[in-house]
């Protein structure tokens, strides 16, 4: 079983679409795929969350959601305000190790160091980085396209390096139809500031795409490491 961790340079950068695109390519190659969402926030019981979007876009995949909290906040804060038990890194690791699949994708909430919990006397607050380290799984960083992303991408890469976690590369999750100067130059600068390759560029607006359109975009927009045919030489 292969495991990938998907995180972002922030919220709203296209993590769920990138997760669905990776899952769609793996499914098209005949692999069994399960997507794990450790915590879903800002969604009421019974409402569709990110995993429903992944299944709608990618087609039939296994899904595992460990906890959800109604307020659109960081998981630790949302759990605290709901009076609920937060998710612990060990729970996520155990859930992943118990899955029978060819590929497991763990999609985080927000960025790498968003807290799952507030910690305890025996351990500090836990984040997606703790899960990646425990699973020895590479991280795919989903980046926004425009101005400001180089700093957050570089900070994420530095944290991963200090913790001995592999950054497999970066994907721009929602590239605009008419990119400005920052968006264009970021395609060259992201590999430089992260020390990891650019693994793909997906166009904005795929969140409402059909499964066939999502798969076609994934084949054109993600690189061979992720199952597609995109190359940095082709650009966005």
What are the CA-CA distances from residue 199 to residues 70, 141, 188, 233 (Å)?
A: 33, 9, 12, 12
In angstroms, the CA 95 to CA 88 distance is: 11
Token output for 171: 């994907």
67 or 234, greater pLDDT: 67
Percent of the chain's residues with pLDDT above 70 = 99
Domain count, the chain: 1
Q: Give the model's confidence band at 57: pLDDT under 50 very low, under 70 low, under 90 confident, else very high.
A: very high
CB 102 within 8 A of CB 95: no
Q: Give the model's confidence band at 52: pLDDT under 50 very low, under 70 low, under 90 confident, else very high.
A: very high
- Tokens 């296209």 correspond to 14
CATH of residue 97's domain is 3.40.50.300
Task: Fill in the DSSP letter of residue 195.
Answer: S
Q: Give the model's confidence band at 213: pLDDT under 50 very low, under 70 low, under 90 confident, else very high.
A: very high
Catalytic residue, from 9, 20, 33, 37: name it: 37
Tell me, yes or no, if 37 is annotated catalytic.
yes
Residue 172: name the closest of 203, 137, 139 by CA. 203
pLDDT at 65: 97
Residues 6+ apart with CB under 8 A from 234: none
Q: Give the model's confidence band at 235: pLDDT under 50 very low, under 70 low, under 90 confident, else very high.
A: low
In angstroms, the CA 11 to CA 174 distance is: 12
| pLDDT over 80 (residue 214) | yes
In angstroms, the CA 141 to CA 44 distance is: 27
Q: What mean pLDDT is reported for the chain? A: 96
| pLDDT over 90 (residue 83) | yes
Residue 200: name the closest of 166, 170, 164 by CA. 170
Which parts of the chain fold into alpha helices (H)?
Answer: 15-28, 50-58, 75-82, 89-97, 128-135, 149-162, 181-194, 211-221
Q: How many other CB atoms are there within 10 angstroms of residue 234's CB atom?
A: 11
- Rounded to 5°, the CA angle 53-104-85 comes to 75
- Give the domain range for residue 116: 2-234
- Tokens 């005949």 correspond to 30
Q: Residues 206-231: what's their mean pLDDT?
A: 97
In angstroms, the CA 181 to CA 183 distance is: 6
In angstroms, the CA 228 to CA 208 distance is: 20
| pLDDT over 90 (residue 232) | no
Q: Residues 128-148: what's their mean pLDDT?
A: 97
Task: Fill in the DSSP letter of residue 226.
Answer: G
Q: Residues 118-147: what's their mean pLDDT?
A: 95
pLDDT at 23: 98
pLDDT at 234: 62
| pLDDT over 80 (residue 41) | yes
């Amino acid at each position: 079983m292969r495991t990938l961790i998907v995180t972002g340079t922030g919220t709203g950068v296209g993590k769920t679409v990138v997760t669905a695109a990776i899952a769609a390519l793996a499914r098209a190659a005949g692999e069994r795929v399960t997507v794990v969402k450790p915590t879903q926030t800002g969604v009421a019981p019974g409402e569709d969350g990110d995993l429903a979007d992944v299944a709608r876009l990618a087609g039939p995949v296994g899904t595992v959601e460990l906890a959800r909290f109604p307020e659109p906040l960081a998981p630790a804060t949302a759990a605290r305000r709901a009076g609920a038990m937060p998710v612990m890194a060990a729970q996520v690791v155990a859930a992943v190790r118990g899955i029978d699949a060819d590929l497991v994708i763990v999609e985080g909430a927000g960025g790498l160091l968003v807290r799952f919990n507030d910690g305890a006397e025996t351990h500090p607050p836990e984040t997606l980085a703790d899960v990646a380290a425990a699973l020895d799984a590479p991280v795919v960083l989903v980046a926004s396209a425009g101005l400001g992303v180089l700093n957050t991408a570089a900070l994420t890469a530095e944290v991963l390096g200090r913790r001995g976690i592999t950054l497999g590369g970066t994907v721009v999750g929602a590239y605009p139809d008419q990119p400005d100067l920052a968006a264009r130059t970021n395609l060259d600068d992201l590999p430089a500031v992260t020390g990891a390759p650019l693994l793909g560029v997906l166009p904005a607006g795929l969140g409402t795409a059909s499964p066939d359109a999502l798969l076609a975009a994934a084949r054109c927009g993600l690189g061979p490491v992720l199952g597609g045919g995109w190359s940095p030489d082709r650009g966005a």
